[in-house]
Amino acid sequence: MRRAARRIGAAFLTLLALIAGTLGLFLLPPVVHLLLDLADAADNLNVAAPVAHALSDELVRDLLVGGTFGVPLGAEPLLSDSERSHLVDVGVLFRILMIVGAISLAALTTLFIRRRRWFFQALHDGALLLATGAVLAGGAFAFAFDATFTFAHELLFPGGNWTFDPATERLVQLYPMNFWLLTAISFCLVLVGAAALGILFARSQRR
């Protein structure tokens, strides 16, 4: 029983580390800029693409450092109080996930140094678990995006401060639904790819 619990725990550490690492990848400016361009965010916000990129970069920075999201657009704030409040909640979740991911990576590094066989077992199990979840989530986003998006937000933000009007509120003009559809599907594809590589690598080391 104890051995099974350790195996499950190590698998979840792997899953969390891979998710956090993928999230970090998707927060990189070149990745965000590409997704913004594909979603026509600049046109939605009626600004040039470099301006949209710069605004997004500042918001992402505030997500990571716990900023106030008081980014200006011209002579006024880009976002309303309710939009900034939502991003504060998102930032808390992001930072928790990144911290948990870093702790998981440190634990896995220790496992690799001390018990390499356990490490590769954890990598295999965690990557397999991640691949299964990512395929299911990706399918849900691809075939029922609105329902899946709503479910995820109701689960993560039960206070209900996540609904905005794209005709008047700039948060969903800068990050329109097409942005989130592209991001969600791309994120799941990258997770599946990372999991597949992890499984193959773990199997090659266990032979």
pLDDT class of 201 with cuts at 50, 70, 90? confident
Q: Are 129 and 19 in contact (CB under 8 A)?
A: no
* DSSP calls for 7-51: HHHHHHHHHHHHHHHHHHHHTSHHHHHHHHHHTTHHHHHTS-HHH
Residue 182 DSSP code: H
Q: How many domains does the chain have?
A: 1
**pLDDT number for residue 112:** 83
**pLDDT number for residue 101:** 92
d(CA 88, CA 136): 28
Global confidence as pTM? 0.90
3-state SS record for 44-77:
HHCCCHHHHHHHHHHHHHHHHHCCCCCCEECCEE
Q: Are 140 and 148 in contact (CB under 8 A)?
A: yes
pLDDT at 107 over 70: yes
**pLDDT number for residue 113:** 83
pLDDT class of 1 with cuts at 50, 70, 90? low
pLDDT class of 122 with cuts at 50, 70, 90? confident
Average pLDDT over residues 66-85: 91
- Strand pairing class (76-77; 72-73): antiparallel
Mean pLDDT for the chain overall: 90
Q: Are 185 and 178 in contact (CB under 8 A)?
A: no
Q: Which domain holds residue 52?
A: 2-206
Higher pLDDT, 191 or 113: 191
pLDDT at 206 over 80: no
